[in-house]
């Protein structure tokens, strides 16, 4: 029996029904047709135990089919596919309001020109949309197995460049039935670690009798919302895709109109002059390369490592690859304020060297505090000290989430939604927007960055499943 928090909307013919009504009903349904929410954790643990998963650090010399390219020193795969570790040189000639303490820097960066598919299959059971989630092993996840999209695959994966097995259910997404698409948009990955990388975020509905298999379960949005409160359970790709769902605007009345918001954002993009150029990895200044790591000379930011992986439920059961490892726990936070009775979040027009279009909308705070500990207060990110010392009474949402485990090793951040203190007028580069406005912008690529999309998915969960003081 499905349990709903609100009465279902009036049933209308299929062709006339608005997706937002169906999404609202799914978000309000906390008991799924196939699995209780309280049983999901045990199922994930069971899948972890049922498969062979092993990840170990190895020297670069032990990488199979990977190596440092002559001339450039770039770390590449022998096939020329998958991705490469190259160098990046960024110079920012800024407008009147600078962002951050640095105007020029060099770093290693992931270059992955392929557009991957992140696809979630949806289907109605007892009139309620459910979403097919996969208990998927990724080598960089701290707990190895998290809930991923139905399909999470690079082009190299689903064209079998690695020589592995077929990607299950890829036929629903490549290409999709246009009459069954709920979400289909290109979204950028981390602009600080990828160079102009995008993935296709998709939700496609089916009426087929889909054999779910041991590693897949149908869950409602209400169930996923509850799981969003648990640490390291919903993976980054799932959070990104789910943030793009079209929700109702529960309280229209934004302090900036849509036209004003887009004008402000266009101005932010226009005032930044950022030159980002790929350079040979061997020429990157300020970084050192050893037998087992490429790392910053002062121990900040991240490291490039090599790992050997075994995963018995993957398309290829064993392989080696490079991964990026962060040097500390990140903090990603939205300050939240009600303005004239309408919830707003404070967004930052953030510059990253790897963005396609210079600036994307980011959370109020997005950083690894360790990287700024040596700097004076005026050179640290705005709101860092306020958010790091916020009392628990002001925290509306909190969970630790890890980033994409196929490229990053143990990269974790504390995600927060925090009631704003005395901040009234946003500083340059910041603006108060509603979650509904951000949700509308996720329907288009390269507006909302991946960290903000995670927090948007969390805030939508907060709205669907309010807890505590929310």
Is the pLDDT score of 120 beyond 70? Answer: yes
Residue 470 lies in a domain: no
On whether both 454 and 423 belong to a single domain, the answer is yes
- Do both 233 and 344 map to the same domain? no
Segment 231-248 mean pLDDT: 96
Can you give the pTM of this predicted structure? 0.92
Q: Is residue 320 part of a domain?
A: no
- pLDDT at 53 (0 to 100): 86
Q: What percent of the chain has pLDDT over 90?
A: 80
Q: Is residue 86 part of a domain?
A: no
Q: 39: which 2 tokens?
A: 């049983």
Torsion-angle region of 109 (φ positive above 0: left; ψ -120 to 50: alpha; else: beta): beta
466 has pLDDT over 80: no
Closest CA to 169 of 119, 124, 207: 119
Amino acid 5: pLDDT: 43
CA atoms 461, 448, 403, 241: torsion sign? positive
- Same domain, residue pair 158 and 200: yes
Q: How far apart are CA 461 and CA 467, in angstroms?
A: 10
395 falls within a domain: yes
Beta bridge partners of 412: 402
**Residue 451 is inside which H or E element, if any?**
helix 450-464
Q: Which of 68-82, 314-328, 338-352, 356-370 has the lowest mean pLDDT?
A: 314-328
Q: How confident is the model at residue 9 (pLDDT cuts 50, 70, 90)?
A: very low
Residue list for the binding site? 66, 154-158, 192, 237, 287, 350, 366-368, 371-372, 404-407
Pick from 74, 346, 96, 36: nearest CA to 195: 74
Question: Does any domain span residue 24?
Answer: yes
Residue 10 lies in a domain: no
Do 358 and 412 fall within a single domain?
yes
Q: Are residues 407 and 359 in the same domain?
A: yes
Q: The domain that contains 186 carries what CATH number? A: 3.90.79.40
Answer whether residue 83 is part of any domain: no
Q: What percent of the chain has pLDDT over 70?
A: 90
**Is 77 a domain residue?**
no
Q: Are residues 270 and 212 in the same domain?
A: no
Whether residue 400 contacts residue 331, with contact meaning beta carbons closer than 8 Å, is answered with no
Distances (CA, A) of 140 to 77, 94, 363, 404: 19, 35, 24, 7
Question: What would the two tokens of residue 241 be?
Answer: 């895709």
Q: What is the residue-averaged pLDDT of the chain?
A: 90
Q: Please check the confidence at residue 124 and state whether its pLDDT lies above 60.
A: yes
Cβ(120)–Cβ(203) below 8 Å: yes
Q: Which residues of 374-404 are buried (b: 16+ CB within 10 A; e: fewer)?
A: eeeeeebbbbbebbeebeeebbbbbbebbbb
Task: Please indicate, yes or no, whether residues 233 and 262 belong to a single structural domain of this protein.
Answer: no
User: What is the per-residue DSSP string for 129-193?
Assistant: EEEEEEEEE-TT-TTSEEEE-SEEE-HHHHTTTTS-PPPTTGGGTSSPPGGGEEEEEEEE--TTT
Are residues 42 and 177 both part of a single domain?
yes
Dihedral sign computed on CA atoms, order 265, 266, 268, 273:
positive
pLDDT at 154: 84
pLDDT at 2 over 90: no
pLDDT in tens, 15-40: 334 799 999 999 999 999 999 999 99
Once rounded to an integer, what is the mean pLDDT over residues 318-341? 96
Peptide bond into 175 cis (omega under 30): yes
Confidence band, pLDDT 50/70/90 cuts, at residue 46: very high
Q: Which tens digit of pLDDT belongs to each residue from 337-378?
A: 999 999 999 999 999 999 998 899 999 999 999 999 999 988
Residue ranges at the known binding site for dTDP-4-dehydro-6-deoxy-alpha-D-glucose: 66, 154-158, 192, 237, 287, 350, 366-368, 371-372, 404-407
Q: Are residues 149 and 263 in the same domain?
A: no
365-421 pLDDT, tens digit per residue, is 999 999 999 999 889 999 999 999 999 999 999 999 999 999 999 999 999 999 998
CB count within 10 Å of CB 188 equals 24
> Are residues 389 and 263 part of one domain?
yes
Query: Distance (Å, rounded) from C-alpha 343 to C-alpha 348?
Result: 17
Clarify whether residues 391 and 269 are in a common domain. yes
Residue 57 clears pLDDT 70, i.e. is over it: yes
Range of the domain at 401: 258-276+327-464
**Does the pLDDT at position 187 exceed 70?**
yes
197 and 265, same domain (yes or no) = no
Number of independent structural domains in the chain: 2
Q: Could you report the per-residue pLDDT of 86-97, keeping only the tens digit for each?
A: 999 999 876 444
């Amino acid at each position: 029996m499905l349990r709903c928090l609100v009465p279902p909307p009036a049933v209308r013919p299929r062709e006339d029904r608005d997706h937002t009504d169906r999404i609202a009903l799914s978000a309000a349904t906390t008991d799924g047709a196939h699995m209780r929410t309280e049983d999901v954790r045990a199922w994930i643990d069971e899948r972890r135990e049922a498969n062979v998963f092993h990840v170990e650090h190895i020297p670069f010399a032990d990488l199979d089919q990977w190596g440092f390219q002559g001339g450039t020193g770039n770390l590449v795969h022998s096939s020329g596919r998958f991705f490469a570790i190259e160098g990046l040189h960024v110079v920012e000639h800024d407008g009147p309001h600078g962002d951050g303490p640095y105007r020029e820097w060099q770093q290693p960066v992931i270059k992955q020109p392929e557009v991957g598919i992140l696809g979630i299959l949806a289907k109605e059971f007892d009139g309620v949309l459910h979403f097919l989630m996969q208990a998927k092993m990724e080598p960089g996840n701290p707990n190895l197995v998290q809930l991923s999209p139905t399909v999470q695959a690079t082009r190299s994966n689903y064209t079998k460049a690695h020589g592995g097995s077929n990607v299950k259910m890829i036929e629903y997404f490549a290409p999709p039935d246009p009459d069954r698409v709920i979400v289909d948009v290109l979204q950028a990955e981390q602009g600080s670690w990828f160079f102009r990388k995008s993935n296709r975020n998709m939700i496609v509905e089916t009426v087929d009798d889909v054999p779910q298999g041991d590693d897949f379960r149908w869950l409602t949005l209400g169930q996923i919302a509850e799981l969003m409160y648990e640490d390291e359970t919903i993976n980054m790709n799932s959070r990104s895709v789910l943030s793009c769902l079209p929700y109702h605007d529960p309280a229209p009345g934004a302090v900036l109109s849509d036209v004003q918001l887009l004008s402000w954002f266009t101005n932010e993009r226009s005032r930044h002059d950022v030159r980002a150029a790929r350079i040979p990895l061997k020429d990157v200044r300020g970084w050192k390369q050893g037998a087992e790591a490429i790392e910053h000379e002062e121990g900040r930011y991240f490291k490039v490592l090599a790992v050997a992986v075994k995963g018995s439920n993957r398309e290829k059961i064993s392989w080696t690859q490079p991964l990026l490892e962060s040097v500390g726990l990140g903090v990603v936070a939205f300050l939240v304020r009600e303005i004239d009775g309408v919830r707003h979040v404070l967004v930052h027009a953030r510059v990253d060297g790897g963005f396609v279009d210079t600036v994307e909308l980011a959370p109020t705070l997005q950083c690894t505090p360790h990287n700024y500990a040596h700097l004076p207060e005026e050179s640290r990110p705005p709101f860092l000290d306020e958010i790091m010392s916020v009392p628990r009474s002001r925290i509306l949402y909190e969970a630790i989430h890890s980033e994409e485990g196929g490229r990053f090793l143990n990269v974790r951040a504390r995600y927060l939604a925090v009631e704003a203190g005395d901040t009234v007028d946003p500083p340059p580069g910041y603006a108060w927007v509603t979650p509904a406005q951000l949700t509308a912008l996720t329907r288009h690529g390269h507006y909302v960055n991946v960290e903000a999309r995670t927090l948007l998915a969390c805030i939508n969960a907060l709205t669907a499943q309010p807890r505590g003081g929310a």
